[in-house]
Structure 1
Amino acid sequence: MTLLAITVLGHDRPGIIAETTEQLAALGLNLEDSSMTLLRGHFAMTLICAGDSEAAVVEEALAPLTADGTLTVTVREVPPGHAEQAPGSAWVLTVHGGDRPGIVSAVAHEIAQVGGNITDLTTRLAGDLYLLIAELDLPATADVPALEAALKAAAQQLGVGVTLREAEADDL
């Protein structure tokens, strides 16, 4: 069984997901994990698939997606297995305020300082308003009040608001 990471990037148009997944299913690949989104009119998709097809065969099957030059497809074999995760808890971080460089860097730095892992991150820009929503895994040893204080200090320097709350099952 081979595990493949597949990316599809480019100008959005109807049918990209259908065309991609039809080819993968025809090759007998199982879609195990995915993330798909629009980023300012550009489509971005990352898939992890398992099956018996080699990367070159999958890349060839997906080549028609790239024929008009608006999409780029990559296929890479990735090692199997999951990273061992220490016991901890799931949290949701939101940041909102005026857009400026360094927001993601500042909050990611504070999370990394306590050994936290960002498992999902989405940002949106609506005019001058910037919104960041992140799902975090914090280790059981993390000092959450200290992290909150550090995040608030970073947010204050950036002129944005920040909230950190424990995730509930329906959040994830």
Structure 2
Amino acid sequence: MHELAITVIGPDRPGIVADVAEALAEAGANLTDSTMTRLRGHFAMTLICNGPSADEAAHSLEQIGLVTTVHEISPESADAAAGEPYLVSVHGADRLGIVAAVTRVVAAAGGNITDLTTRLTGPLYVLVAEVDLPAGSADTLAEQLAVAGAELGVDVTLRRAESELL
């Protein structure tokens, strides 16, 4: 069995998720992880699937008329350290370099960004990132993020992520 990383991008329309899921199921690919979103009129999705070869999956996706990529990947290492879960949020006027500056501070502290979303709504720019931090690094990172936020003219907060019930 192959593990595949798949991306799909195209103009948004009803039925994209169903079309992709059906094409993958017909090819024998089991969708294990995914993220999907609408970005200014375009639909983007990233999927991890188990199943057929990359060529078989790519062939099945050709029929849906979207831009797709399919790559075989190695399974995730079971011994990968997760760290402590935190949320970084940024609110303020839009300006060039917000994502670069904030994510560089997180990376310099040894943090791993596991999910990141940004939105521009009128003049307000919002960034929300889920991060895994090394044990005991949150207080120092919060101070460094506050400095970066002041330089950018935005509010940056770091808080421990709440456990989610599935």
Runs of 4+ in structure 1 displaced over 3 angstroms? none
Distance 1:106 1:64, change over 3 A: same
AA aligned to 2:124 is L
Determine if contact 1:93/1:134 at 8 Å carries over to the other structure: yes
Count of residue correspondences: 166
Distance 1:95 1:106, change over 3 A: same
The aligned counterpart of 1:154 is 148
For 2:68 and 2:42, locate their aligned partners in 1 and report how far apart those are by CA, in whole Å.
14
Q: How does 1:24-103 map to 2 (within 5 A)?
A: 24-51=24-51, 53-66=52-65, 71-82=66-77, 84-86=79-81, 88-103=83-98
AA aligned to 1:145 is D
For 1:20 and 1:31, locate their aligned partners in 2 and report how far apart those are by CA, in whole Å.
10
1:165 aligns with 2:164: no
Determine if contact 1:8/1:46 at 8 Å carries over to the other structure: yes
For 1:73 and 1:100, locate their aligned partners in 2 and report how far apart those are by CA, in whole Å.
31
For 2:57 and 2:81, locate their aligned partners in 1 and report how far apart those are by CA, in whole Å.
35
Q: How does 1:137-152 map to 2 (within 5 A)?
A: 137-142=132-137, 144-152=138-146
Aligned-residue RMSD, C-alpha: 1.6
For 1:171 and 1:41, locate their aligned partners in 2 and report how far apart those are by CA, in whole Å.
32
5+ residue gaps in structure 1? none
5+ residue gaps in structure 2? none
Secondary structure of the residue aligned to 1:151 is: helix
Determine if contact 1:124/1:131 at 8 Å carries over to the other structure: yes
Deviates more, 1:24-33 or 1:158-167: 24-33
TM-score, normalised to structure 2, is 0.94
Determine if contact 1:2/1:50 at 8 Å carries over to the other structure: yes
Determine if contact 1:32/1:48 at 8 Å carries over to the other structure: yes
Deviates more, 1:4-13 or 1:86-95: 86-95
Deviates more, 1:102-111 or 1:75-84: 75-84
Instruction: Report the Cα offset of residue 146 of structure 1.
Output: 1.5
